[in-house]
């Protein structure tokens, strides 16, 4: 790592890559990395294939995204959240939510500006803040409930605070922020005139009783919020890497400037496919959610039956367990043993935290897998640990 600039050395390893390599080496079931093991709707594949065959999108598409896709994104925000968005100025398309998040941080955060994120966090945030030469300020989602600590958030604000980066439904905890929590966060953002970047990659994966509310729909919030979406997560094509942001013209204009100099444009045919996806009727999104909720329940009960303490997951692909209930002190040690003894791979939450008191005892499991795979995984775990 001698050649790497110092500010990026902390980000050299990715726990997701590391655990996937371990899964392959051990021939283990991979409940670590969050990707579905079944593809999304055929209609999206057909749309991508048709776009390639008919020569639409095989050359550079428009820099901020196909106009039909930007229109579909605006209509989606209107249909689900009642937001009025101008597709010409208030939307930008990029190479997955990941690139959009990096572009937003690079566009909005200057050297030594402080960016508040909740801990545990998605690793892209931490690396993106370093890329922008900003400073990460972590506010806990406190165990054992992993709700946002609003008092700690208020106490973390300084004159250098520039951006509040939030994520709900939240990876890795499965927490979905309540309206009251979002309102408390919004009040702080407005009082201190902060920009909010809201990562809503799992906007359609919230479960019964825990509806997702975009923070941009709260009074006074649209004008300060960049809302980020992920086509990969909405339609179960995580390999296609099309994501987007919407928000007020001035913030989106800033994100557009940086994003165009990262990947310039992103996969033309896949943008046609995502347009078809966003045009799907409400029933697609309802069934998608119900399917994941069913899988969540299978994994949750399997893990409970083997003696693990399982935190209820309200959204995302993920459920967390406390490994102390099986006599382990540390998630990392449990994950190594689970890979070797049970041939099942999960993610130690410690790798997504700086403070061991927050993530140390917890492990994240992905349930976006076929029911037979989830049942096989819990059978292997039960055999190994009981
Ligand atoms: C997967 C994920 C992303 C990245 O989405 P892509 O569209 O695959 O780049 C962003 N945020 C969270 C919380 C995620 O889990």
- Under the banding of pLDDT at 50, 70 and 90, the label for residue 221 is very high
Alpha carbon nearest to ligand 1 atom 11, residue: 201
96 lines ligand 1 (CB under 6 A): yes
Determine the pLDDT at residue 63. Answer: 97
143 lines ligand 1 (CB under 6 A): no
Please compute the mean of the pLDDT values over residues 51-55 and round it to a whole number: 98
233 lines ligand 1 (CB under 6 A): yes
236 lines ligand 1 (CB under 6 A): no
Alpha carbon distance 84, 91 (integer Å): 11
Alpha carbon nearest to ligand 1 atom 5, residue: 97
State yes or no: pLDDT of 25 exceeds 80: yes
For residues 191 and 185, the answer to whether their CB atoms sit within 8 Å is no
Alpha carbon nearest to ligand 1 atom 7, residue: 96
Please compute the mean of the pLDDT values over residues 143-171 and round it to a whole number: 97
Determine the pLDDT at residue 146. Answer: 97
Please compute the mean of the pLDDT values over residues 337-343 and round it to a whole number: 95
pTM: 0.97
Count CA within 13 A, CB hemisphere, residue 304: 10
Q: How far does the centroid of ligand 1 lie from the alpha carbon of residue 96, in Å?
A: 7
Measured in Å, how far apart are the chain's first and last C-alpha atoms?
42
The atom of ligand 1 lying closest to the CA of 98 is: 9
Determine the pLDDT at residue 82. Answer: 98
SS3 15: helix
Please compute the mean of the pLDDT values over residues 252-264 and round it to a whole number: 97
171 lines ligand 1 (CB under 6 A): yes
Alpha carbon distance 64, 252 (integer Å): 10
Q: How far does the centroid of ligand 1 lie from the alpha carbon of residue 204, in Å?
A: 13
Whole-number Cα distances in Å, 287 to 72, 240, 282: 20, 22, 9
Helices (H), 92-138: 96-108, 123-131
For residues 344 and 295, the answer to whether their CB atoms sit within 8 Å is no
Helix 42-53 to helix 268-278 angle, to the nearest 10 degrees?
140
Assigned token pair, 34: 């969050």
Determine the pLDDT at residue 292. Answer: 98
For the chain, the average pLDDT equals 96
Please compute the mean of the pLDDT values over residues 297-312 and round it to a whole number: 96
Q: How far does the centroid of ligand 1 lie from the alpha carbon of residue 167, in Å?
A: 10
- Under the banding of pLDDT at 50, 70 and 90, the label for residue 14 is confident
Residue 119 φ then ψ, to 5°: -110, 130
Instruction: Determine what percent of the chain is predicted with pLDDT higher than 90.
Output: 94
230 lines ligand 1 (CB under 6 A): yes
266 lines ligand 1 (CB under 6 A): no
130 lines ligand 1 (CB under 6 A): no
Pocket test for ligand 1, best of 14, 34, 92, 97 (most atoms within 8 A of CB): 97
- Under the banding of pLDDT at 50, 70 and 90, the label for residue 309 is very high
Give the model confidence (pLDDT) of 184-216 as tens digits. Answer: 999 999 999 999 999 999 999 999 999 999 999
Alpha carbon nearest to ligand 1 atom 12, residue: 201
128 lines ligand 1 (CB under 6 A): no
Give the model confidence (pLDDT) of 120-137 as tens digits. Answer: 999 999 999 999 999 999
Pocket test for ligand 1, best of 197, 201, 368 (most atoms within 8 A of CB): 201
Determine the pLDDT at residue 17. Answer: 85
State yes or no: pLDDT of 56 exceeds 80: yes
The atom of ligand 1 lying closest to the CA of 101 is: 10
Instruction: Determine what percent of the chain is predicted with pLDDT higher than 70.
Output: 100
Under DSSP, the state recorded for 59 is: S
Q: How far does the centroid of ligand 1 lie from the alpha carbon of residue 382, in Å?
A: 31
173 lines ligand 1 (CB under 6 A): no
Determine the pLDDT at residue 204. Answer: 98
State yes or no: pLDDT of 1 exceeds 80: no
Determine the pLDDT at residue 188. Answer: 98
Determine the pLDDT at residue 214. Answer: 98
322 lines ligand 1 (CB under 6 A): no
Give the model confidence (pLDDT) of 79-126 as tens digits. Answer: 999 999 999 999 999 999 999 999 999 999 999 999 999 999 999 999
175 lines ligand 1 (CB under 6 A): no
157 lines ligand 1 (CB under 6 A): no
State yes or no: pLDDT of 371 exceeds 90: yes
Determine the pLDDT at residue 18. Answer: 85
199 lines ligand 1 (CB under 6 A): yes
Determine the pLDDT at residue 348. Answer: 96
Helices (H), 27-83: 42-53, 67-81
Whole-number Cα distances in Å, 190 to 187, 331, 380: 5, 38, 50
């Amino acid at each position: 790592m001698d050649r790497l600039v110092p500010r990026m050395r902390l980000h050299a390893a990715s726990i997701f890559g590391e655990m996937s390599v371990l899964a392959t080496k051990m021939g283990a079931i991979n409940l670590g990395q969050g990707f579905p093991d079944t593809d999304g709707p055929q209609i999206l594949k057909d749309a991508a294939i048709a776009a390639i065959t008919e020569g639409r999108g095989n050359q550079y598409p428009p820099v901020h995204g196909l106009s039909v896709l930007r229109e579909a994104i605006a209509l989606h925000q209107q249909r689900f959240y009642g937001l009025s968005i101008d597709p010409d100025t208030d939307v930008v398309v990029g190479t997955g939510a990941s690139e959009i998040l990096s572009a937003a941080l690079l566009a909005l955060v200057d050297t030594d500006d402080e960016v508040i994120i909740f801990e545990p966090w998605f690793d892209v945030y931490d690396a993106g803040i370093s890329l922008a030469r900003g400073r990460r300020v972590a506010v806990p989602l406190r165990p054992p409930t992993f709700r946002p600590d609003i008092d700690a958030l208020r106490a973390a604000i300084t004159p250098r605070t520039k951006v509040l980066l939030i994520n709900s439904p939240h990876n890795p905890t499965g927490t979905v922020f309540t309206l009251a929590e979002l309102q408390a966060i919004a009040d702080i953002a407005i009082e201190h005139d902060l920009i909010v970047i809201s990562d809503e990659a799992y906007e359609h994966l919230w479960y019964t009783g825990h509806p997702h509310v975009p923070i941009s729909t709260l009074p006074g919030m649209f004008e300060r919020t960049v809302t980020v979406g992920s086509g990969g997560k909405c339609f179960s094509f995580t390999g296609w890497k099309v994501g987007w942001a919407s928000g007020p013209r001035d913030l989106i204009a800033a994100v557009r400037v940086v994003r165009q100099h990262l990947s310039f444009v992103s996969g033309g045919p896949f943008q046609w496919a995502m347009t078809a996806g966003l045009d799907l009727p409400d029933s697609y999104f309802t069934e998608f959610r119900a399917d994941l909720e069913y899988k969540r329940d299978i994994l949750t009960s399997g893990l409970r039956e083997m003696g693990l303490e399982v935190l209820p997951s309200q959204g995302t692909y993920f459920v967390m367990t406390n490994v102390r209930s099986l006599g382990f002190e540390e998630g990392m040690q449990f994950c190594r043993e689970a890979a070797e003894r049970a041939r099942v791979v999960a993610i130690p939450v410690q790798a997504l935290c700086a403070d061991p008191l927050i993530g140390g005892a917890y492990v994240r499991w992905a349930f976006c897998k076929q029911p037979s795979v989830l049942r096989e995984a819990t059978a292997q775990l039960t055999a190994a640990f009981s």
